[in-house]
Amino acid sequence: MDVKEIRKQFPILHQEVNGHPLVYLDSAATSQKPAKVIEKLDDYYRRYNSNVHRGVHTLGSIATDEYEGAREKVRSFIHASSIQEVVFTRGTTTAINTVAQSYGRTRLKAGDEIVITPMEHHSNLIPWQQLAKVTGATLKYIPLQEDGTLSLDDVRETITSNTKIVAAAHVSNVLGTINPIKEIARIAHENEAVILVDGAQGAPHMKVDVQELDCDFYAFSGHKMGGPTGIGALYGKKQLLENMEPVEFGGEMIDFVDLYDSTWKELPWKFEGGTPIIAGAVGLGAAIDFLEDIGLENIEKHEEELAAYALDKLQEVDGLHIYGPKERAGLVTFNIDDVHPHDVATVLDAEGIAVRAGHHCAQPLMKWLDVAATARASFYVYNTKEDIDALTEGLIKTKEYFGDVFA
């Protein structure tokens, strides 16, 4: 994998920020976009922008072919068995809310359990909190080990025959923990529960095979994997999706409409009410082509190397604390003694280095870590060891800059 060549394909990376070459280390928030994706969007709007699934006209046919072609790309990307199992959504959040509303509301009742983990992003936490409130079900957490991983013993202990839904992140957006989804899915199924996987930090970075994981639902976002914002996908097993009601009603998702009753289109379209996110889907298709040309195994290996390098290199910074396990996906969350993460991020920004500071939409996890906020550097296919060197330098400068204050 030639990172130099890959970097050339990301126009945004070739600029200076505050007088320094941009070092973009915030891909877990959103990734940058390769030229191929940007061109694909441009091409869509310039050449064949049309609504899909209706017009008889030529542009409408091209748009429909491209839109449905993108669905096939998503299917193959996550190794689903049929395009009927791939619903386009606005992103991970919408995908999870769709399951909570459509699957959860009609099936859960008081006494049932929803099991999640304390490392969930708010988008895989609040939908379940709300579902528990509405249905009277109990929300339970699989406890975290000290290093921020899950133990299968705890998973077995927490999931019971009363559990109806298990929801877990594939990869933690704060700790970088890669969860043992296949094993959790098996335990969920032994208890006749379904499992939803929040793949927002999984799908962009590693090969995902939903059949091998045997998860019932898998949700992810396009913008974290080189695609545009506003597009994502929900994978669901066909027999589950078939028995679920749509949550959005309107055009595009109907079969027959009468004055007092209507019927729905077949899968997956019954879940795609309204004019779909055509440009977004087409752009996501281009992003998938881009990632598959590089190879997901190569991307995963590259990020693993960067994470290992960062864990080692960052030891050079005095008073730095890193959160999460040693074996991790491509991100590092940390704090420096006596310097608030906002101040860290501002000083780094002055050096052209973009990191995230705050609670990372994981307030319960911040509480567990016993911190108000943290800083996070996250890596993607275009990052290099030089980026991590720049980060290390920047952090040493931060420490020096603030060192005087508490000297």
Partner 1 sequence: MSLHSNLDTLYRQVIMDHYKNPRNRGELEGETLHVNMNNPTCGDRIQLQLKVEDEKIVEAKFVGEGCSISLSSASMMTEAVKGRTVEEALDMADIFSSMMQGQDYDDEKYDLGDIEALQGVTKFPARIKCATLAWKAMEKGFHDTDSE
Point out the residues that are catalytic. 361
Residue 110: how many CB atoms within 10 A of its CB?
A: 9
Residue pair 164/137 in contact (Cβ under 8 Å)? The answer is yes
145 DSSP 8-state letter: P
Least Å distance, CB 317 to partner 1, is 16
Least Å distance, CB 345 to partner 1, is 8
Residue 274: how many CB atoms within 10 A of its CB?
A: 11
Least Å distance, CB 121 to partner 1, is 15
Which one, 313 or 340, has the nearer CB to partner 1?
A: 340
Which one, 138 or 363, has the nearer CB to partner 1?
A: 363
Residue 275 has φ and ψ, to the nearest 5°, of -60, 125
Among 349, 352, 347, 310, which Cα is nearest to 331's?
A: 310
**In this structure, which amino acid lies at residue 154?**
D
Which one, 23 or 373, has the nearer CB to partner 1?
A: 373
Contact set with partner 1 (CB under 8 A): 18, 340-343, 346-347, 350, 357-359, 363, 366, 372-373, 397, 400-402, 404-406
- Helices 341-350 and 385-403: crossing angle in degrees, nearest 10, is 120
191 DSSP 8-state letter: T
44 DSSP 8-state letter: I
Which one, 308 or 396, has the nearer CB to partner 1?
A: 396
Which one, 61 or 129, has the nearer CB to partner 1?
A: 129
Which one, 180 or 358, has the nearer CB to partner 1?
A: 358
Strands 320-323 and 331-336: antiparallel
104 DSSP 8-state letter: I
Least Å distance, CB 126 to partner 1, is 13
- Joined together, the tokens standing for residue 196 give 């939803």
Helix-strand-coil percent breakdown of the chain, rounded to 5? 45, 15, 40
User: Measured between alpha carbons, how far is 5 from 293 in angstroms, rounded to an integer?
Assistant: 13
Among 61, 2, 13, 9, which Cα is nearest to 40's?
A: 9
Least Å distance, CB 18 to partner 1, is 7
User: What stretches of 14-150 adopt beta strand conformation (E)?
Assistant: 16-17, 20-21, 23-24, 86-89, 113-116, 138-141
User: Measured between alpha carbons, how far is 368 from 377 in angstroms, rounded to an integer?
Assistant: 20
